[in-house]
């Protein structure tokens, strides 16, 4: 493999000039640039990126920390990250943490050791290992964001989204509304529950706490939660699920217990994943701009890494209520 020295000899210039031709061509005269380019072509020279990274202490690599890459919503966010990263000249290291803090630690370390320039965190906490050092740790928090954090955040207005969904359900005359939410510690969960409560309060409906149950965003947990709800002494006529997978699980359970969706029970989701539209019945849900989350996060991380001032440190992206056929007016006889 040819080195910058070989090129400089053939071109009859110094290594500095070759380096400049590559990284700041406007500082090099037209004539010299051509000589260098010829030498590069002749030698088939490619800069040794490892040497460059070492010298500049930058890896042009970011890591994305995701609780589970097999989640279809997350994988869309990651797709958005990857596309924008590539445009900006960054490579994306995948950090599937499976919720393990030790894994996060490994990845946070990569930033400390300059193997990566920054982190995009999709989970609702400071990555383990990134908290120790108080100095600027280049990171942005997307989707499920910590409250009152120094990290820049990009998220949905989950309070408003859950409110809108709840209002839709209320407009269908439902009063006994169940919730299948995600992990309690997460901001997403808390915000959406808050939105739900506000909507109920506005409509003067009392909240039945026994109809608020927890899932883990998996289909199975949605199914299990729906089972529990239906076994409740006063089962809900509508179930608000905090993602589409749990809604799909819930629909499956409701049906297999002999009820009809939406005739007997309305079910709604969150995220609008690809499958939502093709469920039976098609799922009423909140659509989120998943790829935009990723893309915007990468853009923001770029600014953080390069110490460009971030204008909007707490960004909110728009959602859209998609009314399909999994929600319907309350049956008269109830």
Partner DNA sequence: CCTAAAAATGTAAACAATTACATTTTGATT
Partner DNA sequence: AATCAAAATGTAATTGTTTACATTTTTAGG
From 10, 19, 154, 304, residue interacting with DNA (rule: CB under 7 A): 19
Instruction: Rank residues 182 and 195 by Cβ distance to a copy of itself and give the closer one.
Output: 182
Q: Residue 61, interface with a copy of itself (CB under 8 A)? A: yes
Non-local CB neighbours of 93 within 8 Å, separated by 6+ positions: 61, 62, 63, 64, 107, 110, 116
Which residues of the chain form beta strands (DSSP E)?
Answer: 61-66, 91-96, 118-121, 139-142, 153-156, 177-181, 212-214, 238-241, 266-268, 285-287, 314-317, 320-322
Q: Residue 223, interface with a copy of itself (CB under 8 A)? A: yes
Q: Residue 30, interface with a copy of itself (CB under 8 A)? A: no
Q: Residue 113, interface with a copy of itself (CB under 8 A)? A: yes
Q: How far is the CB of 182 from DNA (least distance, A)?
A: 41
Q: Residue 16, interface with DNA (CB under 7 A)? A: yes
**Which stretch in 77-85, 117-125, 183-191, 322-330 sits in contact with a copy of itself by CB under 8 A?**
77-85
Provide the 3-class DSSP secondary structure of residue 315.
strand
CB burial string 156-174: b at 16+ within 10 A, e below: bebbbbbbbbbbbbbebeb
Q: How far is the CB of 51 from DNA (least distance, A)?
A: 3
Instruction: Rank residues 92 and 154 by Cβ distance to a copy of itself and give the closer one.
Output: 92
Q: Residue 118, interface with a copy of itself (CB under 8 A)? A: no
Non-local CB neighbours of 110 within 8 Å, separated by 6+ positions: 63, 93, 116
Q: Residue 70, interface with a copy of itself (CB under 8 A)? A: yes
Q: Residue 32, interface with DNA (CB under 7 A)? A: yes
From 37, 43, 52, 83, residue interacting with DNA (rule: CB under 7 A): 52
Instruction: Rank residues 191 and 272 by Cβ distance to a copy of itself and give the closer one.
Output: 272
Q: Are strands 153-156 and 118-121 parallel, antiparallel or unpaired?
A: unpaired
Residue 263, Cβ neighbours under 10 Å: how many?
A: 11
Q: From CA 274, how far away is CA 283, in angstroms rounded?
A: 11
Q: Residue 248, interface with a copy of itself (CB under 8 A)? A: yes
Inter-residue contact 194 to 159 (CB < 8 Å): yes
From 67, 118, 249, 289, residue interacting with a copy of itself (rule: CB under 8 A): 249
Q: From CA 58, how far away is CA 86, in angstroms rounded?
A: 16
Write out the residues near a copy of itself by the rule CB under 8 A.
46-51, 53-54, 57, 59, 61, 68-70, 72, 75-76, 78-79, 82-83, 86, 91-96, 98, 103, 106, 109-110, 112-115, 219, 223, 245, 248-249, 251-252, 255, 274-275, 277-280
């Amino acid at each position: 493999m040819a080195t910058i020295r070989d090129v400089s000899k053939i071109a009859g210039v110094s290594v500095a000039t070759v380096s400049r031709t590559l990284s700041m061509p406007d500082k090099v005269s037209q004539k010299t640039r051509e000589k260098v380019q010829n030498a590069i072509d002749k030698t088939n020279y490619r800069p040794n990126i490892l040497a460059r990274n070492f010298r500049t202490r930058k890896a042009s690599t970011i890591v994305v920390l995701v609780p589970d890459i097999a989640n279809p919503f997350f994988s869309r966010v990651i797709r958005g990250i990857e596309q924008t990263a590539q445009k900006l000249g960054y490579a994306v290291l995948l950090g599937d943490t499976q919720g393990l803090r030790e894994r996060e630690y490994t990845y946070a370390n990569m930033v400390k050791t300059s193997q990566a320039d920054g982190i995009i965190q999709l989970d609702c906490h400071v990555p383990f290992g990134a908290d120790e050092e108080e100095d600027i740790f280049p990171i942005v928090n997307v989707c499920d964001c910590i409250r009152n954090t120094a990290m820049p955040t990009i998220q949905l207005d989950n309070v408003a989204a859950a409110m809108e969904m709840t209002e839709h359900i209320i407009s269908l005359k439902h009063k006994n509304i169940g919730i299948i939410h995600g992990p309690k510690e997460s901001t997403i969960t808390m915000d959406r529950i808050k939105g739900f409560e506000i909507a109920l309060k506005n409509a003067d409906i009392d909240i039945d706490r026994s109809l608020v149950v927890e899932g883990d965003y998996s289909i199975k947990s949605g199914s299990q939660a729906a089972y529990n709800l239906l076994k409740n002494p006063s089962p809900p006529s509508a179930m608000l699920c905090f993602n589409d997978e749990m809604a799909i699980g819930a629909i499956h359970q409701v049906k297999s217990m002999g009820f009809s969706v939406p005739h007997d029970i309305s079910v709604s989701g969150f995220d609008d994943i690809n499958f939502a539209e093709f469920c039976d019945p098609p799922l009423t849900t909140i659509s989120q701009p998943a790829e935009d989350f990723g893309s915007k996060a990468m853009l923001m991380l770029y600014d953080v890494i390069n110490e460009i001032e971030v204008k909007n440190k707490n960004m909110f992206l728009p959602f859209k209520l998609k009314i399909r056929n999994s929600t319907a007016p309350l049956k008269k006889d109830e």
